[in-house]
Chains A and B, each alone.
Chain A
Amino acid sequence: MSEEIIKDVIIGENEEYIINMGPQHPSTHGVLRFEVCLQGETVKYLIPHIGYIHRGIEKMCEAITYPQIIHLTDRMDYLSAHINNEAVCLCVENALQIEVPERVKYIRTILAELNRIASHQLWWSAFGMDLGALTTFFYGLRDREKILDIFEESFGSRLLHSFIMPGGLMHDVHPNFQKRIKEFIAYFRKKLPEYDQLLTGNIIFQNRSKGIGLMSRETAIAYGVTGPSGRGSGWSCDIRKIAPYSAYDKVQFNEMLETEGDTFARYKVRMREMWESMNILEQLVDNIPEGDYTAKMKPIIKLPVGEYFQRVETARGELAVYIVSDGNKTPYRIKFRTPNFSNLFVMNKITSGYKIADLVAVSGSLDLVIPDIDR
């Protein structure tokens, strides 16, 4: 009798079953579904299902002009809106062989770094919340608000700015721009150590993130995992260093690398990147040259026949824009190689064998933004 019961339990343990995580799940931060195959509590394999909010941005772009495309790129990775805009603008300027004024380059770099800090702040807030530390959300959003206020004052919008245009900027920045950035840096330098006190040293947090979701450097390269997630595995993949654009060749900064490759390493990379972004901001904010906010542009932008490729580093990794032009004012074909698309598909590889509770930690540490995957 007792033997039979034990046998029953063992049969139950070995049974596989499928759990659908999403499309509406708080830890996927968007409409994404993981089809998770479990054996007991252990993940056997995982299949991501995407396309719930596929808008066909690439197809839409084939019917609209280049300045109009800028507004659609905001809607891909909405947390790196400035950097997405910049990618298309750099590609267009490169094709037209336009040299933008120095002032534009400096302001673009400042905006990109502010955007990176704001994005990492929101990631930190949500990541803490995913792992049960609800306080992080209040701390992170409180500080992110300061950056959004700077954005609002200069561009009138807080999240999707469409401020960077081919040839320069849409208009000049607000006279308070430099002053408020300096205020923000002074403020955030005091507040960032609080993040470490609250979460980084927390033993529960460390136990849930150390040694989880191990990704080797080879895996990162093979799956094209870029950005802080790739750098957490020791792969130096920072486009700001490899192929400097805008004013990145004029500033001194280090590429943040961690070699452990686990969830905690990816966490550390982003925390250190926030410090480094503030260093970059400090080097630039006092040295913005005077001058025009845009180069002379024709009212209708037509790219010469050819193919153009531009890579930039967003807050999540490498964004590449590939434009095929047939000489018209609309692109013949435009392709966005978005960082999250590649980062998502490594999930199966790095979560197999771990517990289902770790899945949330791993997907949080990859910092996925779903509209960027679905485009």
Chain B
Amino acid sequence: MLNREELSKIVLELVPEAEIPEGTQYPEAIIPAEKLVELTEKLKSDKRTQFDYLISHTAVDFLTHFTAVYHLDSTEFRHLLVLKVKIEERENPEIDSLTGLFPTCEFFEREVFDLFGIKYKNHPNLKRLFLEDDYGFPLRKDFRDEVNIIER
């Protein structure tokens, strides 16, 4: 099991431009969007890290940008890493899909697409999961639905 410093060192080794915030609950790394697939692939195959289990993937809307959040776990060492990717584009947000590395990500990504409208490149079947095709993206902070949601 690697501690926070060792994990940050490995991430910085692979992606020098990564940003490592201090004082978070779990080791965290904010990385540029174009490095996401490359880094996760290396983290998965690296003998020291072996991040082979994706616990969850979701997104957060900060109005100025979206943040895609990945919680990675290693079944071998049981250390946890939080990967974050900022998506500045709001009209047509797009990010690489991790389905090829983690099959479970296919459905997390479909859920995020359904509720946030973030598109995934190279996704095998990007369709809405829960809602109808003409519904808005409800987890965006600027989403308004006068009929079904009562403002407090």
Contact = CB atoms under 8 A, between A and B. Distances in A.
B55 interface: yes
Interface string B112-131: 00010000000000000111
A139 interface: no
Given A50-B130, A221-B75, A242-B78, A345 B107 contact: yes
Contacts, number: 72
Nearest to A332: B60
B56 A320 contact: yes
A318 B55 contact: yes
A71 interface: no
Given A223-B104, A333-B61, A341-B107, A311 B55 contact: yes
Interface of A: 50-51, 54, 56, 58-59, 63, 94, 221-224, 235-237, 242, 306-309, 311, 318, 320, 322, 324, 332-333, 335, 337, 341-342, 345, 349, 374
Interface of B: 24-26, 52-56, 58, 60-61, 69, 71, 75, 78, 82, 102-104, 106-107, 111, 115, 129-131, 138-139, 149, 152
Contact of A59 (B71, B138, B152): B138
Nearest to B104: A224
28 contacts: A51-B130, A51-B131, A58-B115, A59-B149, A221-B52, A221-B75, A222-B103, A222-B104, A223-B103, A224-B102, A235-B75, A242-B78, A306-B25, A307-B25, A308-B25, A318-B55, A320-B55, A320-B56, A322-B56, A322-B69, A324-B60, A333-B61, A333-B139, A335-B56, A335-B58, A337-B55, A337-B56, A337-B71
A224 B54 contact: yes
Contacts of B107: 341-342, 345
